Chains A and B, each alone.
Chain A
Amino acid sequence: MEIPSGSLVRSHCVGTTAVVYASDYLNKLTGEKIERECRRQLDSGCRALVIDFSDTELVNSIGISILLGIIDIAERNGAQVVFSDVNLQTVELFDMLGLTRHVALARDEHEALLSLSDFDTTPLSH
């Protein structure tokens, strides 16, 4: 079921995996909303995050910093992060900056969820 969150970031859960949709331009405003949504999902027991970039055209420096923060929080929570449907230009940027050393990339949301099916998704107790 899709969850319309208060921060206007689209997201939904598949088991203990949260799929969060990034907007067309990942900057300070939208980045902070995504970060809040990811925190909320992790706090409510999600063990994996899929951030879907299918609508995302551009990611700026603040967006990069916020994504690194999300990766950090997920690692501290023992959660996996997968970026899905990232356009070529953004993949090159993530590659160049070393983000791809910390997250897996998937062609689309389906592939991302499949890749996470091997991962232990037992809910964390809070």
Chain B
Amino acid sequence: MEPSTQKLIHTFGALADLGQEVANAGDFNDMVQTSMHLLLGTLALRRGAVTECTANGALSCVAIWGLGEKLFTEFVITEAERRQVLENRSFLFAVKEANEGFFGRYRDRLTEKGIELALPMIVRGQLTGFVLLGGKASGDEFSHQEFDTIRAMVRHIGVGIHTHRLLEQVAQRAEENRRLYEELRAIYRDTVKAFAAAIDIKDKYTQGHSDRVGRYSEIIARELGWSEEEVEGIQIAGYLHDVGKLVVDRDIINAPYHINAKQSSELSRHPSAGYEILAPINHPYADIPLMAKYHHERLDGRGYPDGLTDEQIPLGAKIVALADSFDAMTTDRPYRRRRSFTEVVEDLRQNTGTQFDGKVVAAFLKAMLREVKGLTKERRIIKMLGKGYLEGEHVPAMLAELIAELESERHSVAGPA
């Protein structure tokens, strides 16, 4: 084969490999090191280095071959020298001929180490760095064609470095945005919790109610296999479900005994009022206003404000409804003491299918049973209910029995085809 043809094939192969290498979004240092090997190997250059300009003007060595482990001196380019390089638009410097400027300053150190050529990498009008190259293994002078090859390959390497750094910046900004978004969500959650506390302060008998409803709702949703985002959403809905009470007269909310029909009608306004308060807000979670609006709906259609029936009620509202009722039954109210757990279980048995959704009740009981049996790391429900409330040998059996009943009922309702 003619040497010129062989050289062309060898160069062509290297250029093809270089194109693939610079497009490789993998390890940056590996990409630069391999690209430099391709350049050195194309013309059999014995040594070389790829340096990158840093913000303070120092050149950091990204790849090195045949010059030891690290660059033999610290290179610093001044702003004036950088401008000079960019203005000259010269893409190749013969180091030994440099008398002034950046290469004039470092000429002796570079030639001592066998560096003959220095090529700035200029991408989109910015100086990315320099490629420093030693002489050919053959000892021959470079031909014009070889200079062209070197320039073309150095441009590729420059673009590779520039693109990689851009992608790094994009990834960094995306990470910053993600962190900012997380912080905003945390601020939103904290604000909502503070708001929930403000709602509960209005009702002196139900302090902590919204917070507990949020937590119970979260536990139920998690048990039902909801995604992390959906679980967060229902927790927020739980915190805010009674926000409409802010427009109800404080005396009605705090009435120590049973309220009259007019007062009851006034109190029944709170789910719709809550919806009106929450609907204009752009929540990061879906359906929060609807969960607040429908948390007093019942499966049998006897709830309020719209008298919806089973399938018409969003599952989230069914969860909040159970959490709300459960907390109401298990905390002291102005007109009664809280019920015993046996009574609560009986209430759930009686009202599942008419007031509560069986699937939601079963999920809540399962979460409770696991805590009672000591199968969970945290005992969140037990903690909220207070010491002693869920104690007793009969509790696990009672829970297991109702779960089994609900599941068999559900099975029989769904029925075999």
Q: Which residues of A does B touch, CB under 8 Å?
A: 28, 60-66, 68-69, 71-72, 89, 92-93, 96-99, 101-102
Contacts and interface: CB of A to CB of B under 8 A. Distances in A.
A125 B186 CA distance: 65
B189 interface: no
Given A60-B14, A60-B41, A65-B40, A72 B1 contact: no
B136 A62 contact: no
Interface in B1-60: 1, 3, 6-7, 10, 13-14, 17, 34, 36-47
B3 A64 contact: no
Contacts of B40: 61, 64-65, 68
B41 A65 contact: yes
B120 to A, nearest CB: 22
Contacts of B136: 97-98
Contact of A65 (B13, B38, B140): B38
A93 to B, nearest CB: 6
Contacts of B14: 60-61
Given A60-B14, A61-B14, A92-B6, A101 B1 contact: no
Interface SS of chain B:
helix
24 contacts: A61-B13, A61-B38, A61-B40, A61-B41, A61-B42, A62-B17, A62-B34, A62-B38, A65-B41, A68-B44, A68-B137, A69-B66, A71-B137, A72-B47, A72-B66, A92-B1, A93-B10, A96-B7, A97-B10, A97-B136, A98-B44, A98-B137, A98-B138, A99-B44
Given A64-B40, A65-B45, A102-B137, 17 more contacts: A61-B14, A61-B38, A61-B39, A61-B41, A62-B37, A62-B38, A62-B41, A63-B41, A65-B40, A72-B47, A72-B66, A89-B1, A92-B1, A96-B3, A96-B10, A98-B136, A98-B137
Which of A62, A96, A101 gathers the greatest number of chain B CB atoms within 10 Å? Answer: A62
Interface string B71-101: 0000000000000000000000000000000
A98 B139 contact: yes
Interface of B: 1, 3, 6-7, 10, 13-14, 17, 34, 36-47, 65-66, 136-140
Interface SS of chain A:
helix
B3 A92 contact: yes
A22 to B, nearest CB: 15
Contacts of B36: 65
Contacts of B7: 96
Which of B37, B38, B40 gathers the greatest number of chain A CB atoms within 10 Å? Answer: B37
A61 B37 contact: yes
Contacts of A93: 6, 10
Contacts of A72: 46-47, 66
A101 B137 contact: yes
Contacts of B137: 68, 71, 97-99, 101-102
A92 B41 CA distance: 15
Given A60-B17, A69-B66, A72-B46, A101 B139 contact: yes
